[in-house]
């Protein structure tokens, strides 16, 4: 199954999240876990090529409702990568310094450098999600952000940053189930906040905001994928598979050696004789 095609939001299409089943899976868990393991091995190889080539970077944006699995993706699907070449940035409530700049300033500050994989746990899209739903700015202000975001991503793409964006789609019932799991597990109590339940009351408003985000900001150079995420193992499989498919499509190659290999080989053989 080509998940890159199956879960892609085609540019210009109108998204209706109620038409996308968050419970979807086309594998059983046992098969999926084996495939994830293979994908992780391949991702490690592809990341090494990205690092060695030193021509471009990869930016992953993760968005979801609370408990949607952003941390899970970072921990499981991306955990196979060499942390030396990865950077994770979390987008929480803006600091006073960040508020004194335009809304994209903090995002640009954390964009991955050449050879790096950058992961945004939430992202600059919060300014058309939380800001919109909580009316933190007038519509005349946040509605301009869609075009500004598209221009920002176009600029990143033209300068060598490849962008993949994943919306981890869970159902309202599944979210409540995961809240219960947190309550029952003392090791997860630190994740609980009162806003977990107050934000649920705005579920429909968030779904509308997500739909507009997906419809208006999925482009050829920065596509959105809606990942069915009720099953954590299928979520991890789909994201890792899309990453493998995308990175393989970049046709990366190892750079030529920076030294005379024949000369180095002679030095090696001489060193062996001298032992």
Query: pLDDT tens across 151-162, in order?
Result: 999 999 999 999
Is the pLDDT at 268 greater than 90? The verdict is no
What pLDDT sits at residue 259?
Answer: 81
Bigger pLDDT: 77 or 255? 255
DSSP character string of 41-93: HHHHHHHHHHHHH-S-EEEEEEEESTTSSHHHIIIIISTTS-GGGEEEEE--S
Is the pLDDT at 1 greater than 90? The verdict is no
Query: pLDDT tens across 61-74, in order?
Result: 999 999 999 999 99
DSSP class of 11: T
Bigger pLDDT: 270 or 149? 149
Mean pLDDT of 21-42: 96
What pLDDT sits at residue 208?
Answer: 98
Q: Look at residues 66, 65, 62 and name the one whose alpha carbon lies nearest to residue 88.
A: 62
What pLDDT sits at residue 255?
Answer: 86
What pLDDT sits at residue 273?
Answer: 84
Bigger pLDDT: 39 or 76? 39
Q: Look at residues 23, 31, 30, 50 and name the one whose alpha carbon lies nearest to residue 244.
A: 50
Mean pLDDT of 114-136: 97
Is the pLDDT at 265 greater than 80? The verdict is yes
Is the pLDDT at 267 greater than 90? The verdict is no
What pLDDT sits at residue 182?
Answer: 92
* Banded model confidence at residue 191, pLDDT cuts 50, 70, 90: confident
Is the pLDDT at 34 greater than 90? The verdict is yes
Please, which residues have CB within 8 angstroms of residue 232's CB and are 6 or more apart in sequence?
69, 72
| Ordered structural domains, the chain, with CATH | 3-273 (3.40.50.300)
């Amino acid at each position: 199954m080509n998940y890159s095609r199956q879960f892609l939001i085609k540019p210009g299409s109108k998204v209706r999240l109620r038409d996308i089943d968050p419970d979807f899976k086309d594998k059983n868990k046992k098969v999926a876990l084996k495939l994830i393991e293979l994908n992780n091995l391949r991702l490690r190889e592809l990341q090494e090529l990205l690092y060695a080539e030193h021509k471009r970077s990869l930016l992953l944006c993760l968005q979801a409702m609370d408990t949607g699995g952003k941390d899970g993706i970072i921990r499981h699907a991306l955990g196979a990568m060499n942390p030396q070449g990865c950077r994770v940035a979390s987008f929480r409530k803006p600091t006073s310094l960040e508020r004194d700049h335009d809304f994209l300033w903090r995002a640009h500050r954390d964009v991955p450098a050449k050879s790096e994989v950058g992961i945004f746990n939430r992202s600059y899209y919060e300014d058309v999600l939380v800001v919109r739903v909580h009316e933190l700015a007038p519509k005349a202000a946040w509605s301009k952000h869609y075009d500004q975001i598209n221009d920002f991503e176009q600029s990143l793409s033209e300068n060598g940053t490849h962008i993949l964006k994943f919306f981890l789609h869970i159902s309202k019932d599944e979210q409540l189930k995961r809240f219960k799991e947190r309550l029952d597990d003392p090791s997860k109590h630190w994740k609980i906040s009162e806003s977990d339940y107050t934000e649920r009351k705005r579920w429909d408003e968030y779904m509308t905001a997500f739909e507009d985000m997906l419809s208006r900001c999925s482009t050829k150079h920065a596509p959105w994928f809606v990942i069915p995420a009720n099953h954590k193992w299928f979520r991890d499989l789909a994201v890792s598979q899309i990453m493998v498919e995308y990175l393989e499509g970049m046709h990366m190659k190892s750079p030529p050696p920076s030294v005379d290999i024949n000369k180095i080989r002679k030095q090696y053989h001489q060193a062996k004789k001298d032992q």
